[in-house]
Each structure stands twice: as C-alpha cells, then as structure tokens.
Amino acid sequence: MSTAEHDTPDLDAIVVGAGFSGLYMLHRLRDTLGLRAEVIESADDVGGTWYWNRYPGARCDSESYFYSYSDRLDEDLLQEWTWSERFAAQPEILRYLQTVAERFDLRRDIRFSTTVTAATWDEGGTRWIVDTSDGRRSSARYLITAVGCLSTTNLPDFPGRDSFRGKSYHTGQWPHEGVDFTGQRVAVIGTGATAVQAVPEIAEQAAHTYVFQRTPNYDIAGGNRPMTEADAKEIKSNYRDIWARTRETGFGFPYDIADRPARSVSDEERREIFEEAWARGGFRLGTTFNDLLLDADANSTAAEFLREKIRGVVRDPETAEKLSPRDHPFFTKRPPLENGYYETFNKDNVTLVGVRETPIDSITEKGVVVDGVEYEVDSIVFATGFDAMTGTLFRLNLTGRDGVTLKAKWEAGPRSYLGLTTNGFPNLFMLTGPQSPSVMSNMVVSIEQHVDWVTDCLRWLREQGRDRIENTLAAEDGWISHHDEVGAMTLLDQANSWWVGANIPGKTRRIYPYMGGVGVYKGLCDDVAAKGYEGFETS
C-alpha cells in the first residue's frame, strides 16, 4: 500500500494509549528522538487507569512518592510536586498525569476519543497501517502499544444480567459525575483490590450492602495517611537513592526483601517481624522473608498471620471464617490493601454472601439470585476485574507478517521476546507486555524501563541506517523457556488468579507476568542492547 492511499501523512510512530506508558513514550519519541509521533486514545483525556477507574475509594497501593515518574522524566517536577497522602486517591493521580501532559505539551499529539480497531503490517511499505473508530486510516514505521495490562473490563455473563431494572456499574468504567448510593440497597460482586477499596465507601452511604464473594483474599493493612511536610522533605532529598533502588529490587519498590527464610527465626521473632511490617502498612509484609512466594511452608506462616488479623477485626466468627482464604497461598492472588474493609463487616447493614459453593444463579429484574435466594437491590456494582494482559492487545486486531493475527499466534498463550516484541510482528513494541515484569512490579518503574529501552533501540536503528526490526523465533523460544522456568519456581500457579488468566472463562492458563524481578529483567534487557540487539534481525 503506498503512502498516497493513506488519509493522513505517514508518521514515524503511532502509540496506542495515553496513560503513564503512552505519555512518557510520546515525550521520548518527540522530544528525545525528534520523531513524528501520534498517540491514539479511546478516552477524551489522558490518564488511562486513572481516567477510567473513578469508583469510590480508588487509590494506588504503591506509595505515591514512587508511584510516579522518576528523574528520568523531570527532576524539577519531583521537587515541585507534593503528594497529599501516602497512597493518593484517583483524582490526585489523574491531576498529576494531566499536569505532566500540560508540562510537556503532549495533548497536541494525542488523538482522543478514538479507538484503534485494527492494525496490519505492510511488509512492502515497512509500516503499520492503523484503522481507527473515526474511520481514518493512518500509517507509521513503528507501532507501540501502551494499552495497559488492566484496561479491558471483565463483565461476567451472568444469566439475565441485562434484565436488571436498577442501575449497574463496572468499577473500571465509573460515571464521571459519581454515584450517590444514599438509602439504596447495593450489590457488590467481587472481592479483589477494587472491591476492597470500594466496599467501605459504598457501605458508608447505602442502606444495605451485599458483598458477593467467590474467593476471599489476604488483605493487608494499607496504612494510608496524609503526607507531612517532614515526609515530603525527606523523600525529596533522597530521590536519587529511591529511584536507584526501585530499579534494582524485585518488585520495583524501594524496599529490600530481607535475606532470610521464614523458618530461620523463631515463631516469636517471626511474629514480631510480621507485626512490625503490618504496622508500617502496604506491601512491606511481602518483603519480610525471601521464601514467602517460593516455599509453601514459609508461605503458610504469613497466611496464618493474616487470617489471625481477620479474626481480630471481624466480630462474627462465621463471617470471619468466610473472609479467611484457605484455598490458595498468600500473594498468589494480588493481595489488596485494606483501609477499613474488614471492619465494614461488623456493620449490621452489610452482608457477606459466599458464591464459591453456590455460584450466582442469575440476575433478575430485581437483583441477584444465589442458591435460590433473590437479593433485591437498587444497584449492582460489578467489581469483577479485567481481561488482563492480553485482552486489550487482542482487541487491537493486530495482523502481522504473512497475514497471521496476534490472536491466532497466541492461542496457546503469549509468545514474546522479553515481553516486548513477538516474531512475525516487525516494528511492534508492547510496553508492559505479557512475559515482562509489568503487573508484578510497581508499574511506573517497569513502564519507564520499557520506554527507555524502546527509545534506545529506535535511536540505534537510526544510527545503523535501518528501519525494520523483528526478534528471531529462537530468541523467543529461549525467552519463553526462561520465563516459564522462573515462574515454575514460584507458588503462583497454585491460585486461580488473573495473573494466570484464570478469571476469564476459556482463557489459556499460563503465568502471564515475568517472575524474575525488575532488577534482573532490566539487566537482561540491557545486555541484549549492549550486544547489538541480540536476538533481533534488522534491515
């Protein structure tokens, strides 16, 4: 297809998505490399996750001072911006991303309210042809997906779902004007990280809240609090060290994982260590011992500690037991951070409904039916998560070399090199793609690492006078076997989580994120680059 056939002039790069990834990518392409780039975004503004997830209680669970762009973007912004809370709420994070967009004048190269509906590799033209919901067709040398790991909502197909006469909401597509539940009977379906944030807030307003739980989680104390001036001063004077640490640790947090197994200390000492981590709040509990995610026995010590915490808060023993996970190890499903979730179940107007043994039968005009009981409600909140990691990539309808679609190629699970590229799809880069650390990390650190790596790669291609890059099948096979080997060393496969694709009926069960850790992964990527992009063919 020749350039003349395109409605818009050719670009050097098209980026899909304007969240943390797409914004930083655009800045690098345009301002570092001087390329002509455009971002295409379904929403009418920037923000990604933080544009869509406006449900009550939405906030981050990586601490805000490191859940933000690092000195790689702008050292001055780090000093100018002050987070108001330890874990900022959605409006503040959205404001931050809007500020970044304004500061770097990014919006002028973002096409909003436009969805990429298909993208096809044109071998003759060495370009991607991109179709969008506005009927336009664009083309670019490079296609970079910044579509997010958690951006396609999962709305289970409960029989009768659409017959419900009240209002229903998915947390990932929350109305911008907010929802007032005052005086209402509300059903919340799901008990993942989203529900754990939303339920206390909804229960504050609603006349009665029914929480439908299929799998209880190990929720950790969030410990959110306002940031003090002293906090901000200390953080701002230590930023260099903080970022250096986030890039080297396993999860991209500036916390080190203690170099000791759980059974290397006495029961009393372990308890004290857990208590101290619990009191500090956040994911520190997961860093107390180095074998919690590797050894079932070690893991059971943390699991029992967390069950005890539930029993300590929830007064009704039957409800406490129902809320206590027993069918999977700690951290094999993403542990939510809780700020008042368990306490909510001490309220008379909150009911926990187990739907593990007796799944939701149907949704009727009036409410939710479980085990022959109809729970009549005015509103239903679907906190049922996402078709994570691959769901949004498949919706791009990517067709690579020789007419092969990504969906067909990945039928038995993702196949990538470094989680960044895939054979048969030249000049395609997937930011935080499956088989990279992505969701197993503080994501902004992983996003920056991917964006910087892609930037360096494009610069190198230009210096070499080349404009086509594709990873070899051998490199891909090697990466997948390393990825799977590392994943198999963990307990991750012992739970039915979205990390293994188990939340979506029919989805291929695999470990989707890379489990080798952020620091190790960065080293491997750097090594590939240092060896002249080993594992890639270029022309």
Q: Which residues does 462 contact at the CB level (< 8 Å), separation at least 6?
A: 33
424 binds, among ligand N01, ligand FAD, none (CB under 5 to 8 A by kind): none
Pairing of strands 185-189, 167-170: unpaired
Q: Under the criterion CB under 6 A, does residue 101 sit at the interface with ligand FAD?
A: no
Map the footprint of ligand FAD across residues 213-272, applying CB under 6 A. none
Stretch that binds ligand N01, among 194-202, 273-281, 461-469, 513-521 (CB under 6 A): 194-202
- The site that binds ligand FAD (CB under 6 A) totals a number of residues, namely 36
Q: Under the criterion CB under 6 A, does residue 214 sit at the interface with ligand N01?
A: yes
415 within 8 A of 393, measured Cβ to Cβ: no
Q: How far apart are CA 181 and CA 80, in angstroms?
A: 37
Q: Under the criterion CB under 6 A, does residue 41 sit at the interface with ligand FAD?
A: yes
Q: How far is the CB of 247 from ligand FAD (least distance, A)?
A: 14
CA atoms within 13 A on the CB side of 13: 29
Q: How far is the CB of 157 from ligand N01 (least distance, A)?
A: 8
Q: How far is the CB of 334 from ligand N01 (least distance, A)?
A: 3
Q: Under the criterion CB under 6 A, does residue 428 sit at the interface with ligand N01?
A: no
526 vs 310, 523, 530, 534, CA distance in Å?
Answer: 44, 5, 6, 10
Stretch that binds ligand N01, among 190-198, 366-374, 430-438, 473-481 (CB under 6 A): 190-198
Q: Under the criterion CB under 6 A, does residue 391 sit at the interface with ligand FAD?
A: no
Q: How far is the CB of 423 from ligand FAD (least distance, A)?
A: 22
- Pick between residue 115 and residue 508 the one whose CB is nearest to ligand FAD: 115
Pairing of strands 116-122, 398-399: parallel
Q: Under the criterion CB under 6 A, does residue 12 sit at the interface with ligand FAD?
A: no
- What are the structure tokens assigned to 406, written together? 């990504």
Q: Under the criterion CB under 6 A, does residue 82 sit at the interface with ligand FAD?
A: no
Q: How far apart are CA 22 and CA 17, in angstroms?
A: 5
Q: How far is the CB of 516 from ligand FAD (least distance, A)?
A: 17
Secondary structure of 302-366 in HEC code, one letter for each residue = HHHHHHHHHHHHCCCHHHHHHCCCCCCCCCCCCCCEECCHHHHCCCCCEEEEECCCCCEEEECCC
Q: How far apart are CA 325 and CA 314, in angstroms?
A: 14
Map the footprint of ligand FAD across residues 442-501, applying CB under 6 A. 442-443, 447
Q: In degrees rounded to 5, what are phi and psi of residue 141?
A: -65, -45
Selected binder of ligand N01 within 130, 186, 193, 389 (CB under 6 A): 193
Q: How far is the CB of 537 from ligand FAD (least distance, A)?
A: 27
- What are the structure tokens assigned to 40, written together? 């295409």
Q: Under the criterion CB under 6 A, does residue 236 sit at the interface with ligand N01?
A: no
- Pick between residue 422 and residue 435 the one whose CB is nearest to ligand N01: 435
Q: Under the criterion CB under 6 A, does residue 151 sit at the interface with ligand FAD?
A: yes
Selected binder of ligand N01 within 72, 115, 156, 494 (CB under 6 A): 156
Consecutive H or E run containing 139:
strand 137-145
Q: How far apart are CA 297 and CA 286, in angstroms?
A: 15
* The residue type at 205: Q
Q: Under the criterion CB under 6 A, does residue 25 sit at the interface with ligand N01?
A: no
- Pick between residue 427 and residue 446 the one whose CB is nearest to ligand FAD: 446
Q: How far apart are CA 421 and CA 365, in angstroms?
A: 46
* The residue type at 255: Y
Q: Under the criterion CB under 6 A, does residue 197 sit at the interface with ligand N01?
A: yes
Q: Where are the alpha helices (DSSP H) in 70-208?
A: 75-80, 90-103, 193-205
Is 277 exposed, middle or buried (CB count within 10 Å of its CB: 0-12, 13-18, 19+)? buried
Q: Under the criterion CB under 6 A, does residue 188 sit at the interface with ligand N01?
A: no
Q: Which of 191, 512, 499, 484 is nearest to 331 (CA)?
A: 499
Q: How far is the CB of 397 from ligand FAD (least distance, A)?
A: 9
Selected binder of ligand N01 within 24, 425, 498, 533 (CB under 6 A): 498
Q: Under the criterion CB under 6 A, does residue 441 sit at the interface with ligand N01?
A: no
Q: How far is the CB of 475 from ligand N01 (least distance, A)?
A: 29
Provide the b/e sequence for 474-485 (b: ≥16 CB within 10 Å).
Answer: ebbeebbeebee
- Pick between residue 6 and residue 450 the one whose CB is nearest to ligand N01: 450
120 within 8 A of 105, measured Cβ to Cβ: no
What is the x/- site pattern for ligand FAD, positions 55-74, by CB under 6 A?
---x-xxx----x-------
Angle at 80 between CA 77 and CA 83, to 5 degrees: 100
Q: Under the criterion CB under 6 A, does residue 49 sit at the interface with ligand FAD?
A: yes
19 binds, among ligand FAD, ligand N01, none (CB under 5 to 8 A by kind): ligand FAD
Residues that bind ligand N01 (CB under 6 A): 60-61, 150, 156, 189-195, 197, 214-215, 334, 337, 355, 360, 383-386, 439, 498, 503
Residues that bind ligand FAD (CB under 6 A): 16-22, 40-43, 48-49, 51, 53, 58, 60-62, 67, 115-116, 146-151, 194, 392, 395-396, 432, 442-443, 447
